[in-house]
Amino acid sequence: MDCNVSETAKRLFIHRNTLLYRLDKLKQEAGLDVRSFNDAILVRLLMLLYKVTKRK
């Protein structure tokens, strides 16, 4: 959703604050802040790789 928190929360059917909490938790645990472009791209690639390797 082009890094739009409100639209992303609507699409996930969760409250905006819940999404912000989960993003903060991801930043704390993984050290990646998906609100920055580079980290968002890295997380997206990691998710795609996980999907591909999980199928086998």
Q: Percent of the chain having pLDDT more than 90?
A: 80
Decide if pLDDT at 55 tops 80. no
Residue 32 DSSP label? -
Tokens of 15: 């409250």
First CA to last CA across the chain, in angstroms?
Answer: 29
Q: Smallest Cα–Cα separation from 46: which of 27, 28, 25, 32?
A: 32
Q: What is the pLDDT of residues 1-21, one digit of tens each?
A: 788 899 999 999 999 999 999
pTM: 0.77
Decide if pLDDT at 30 tops 70. yes
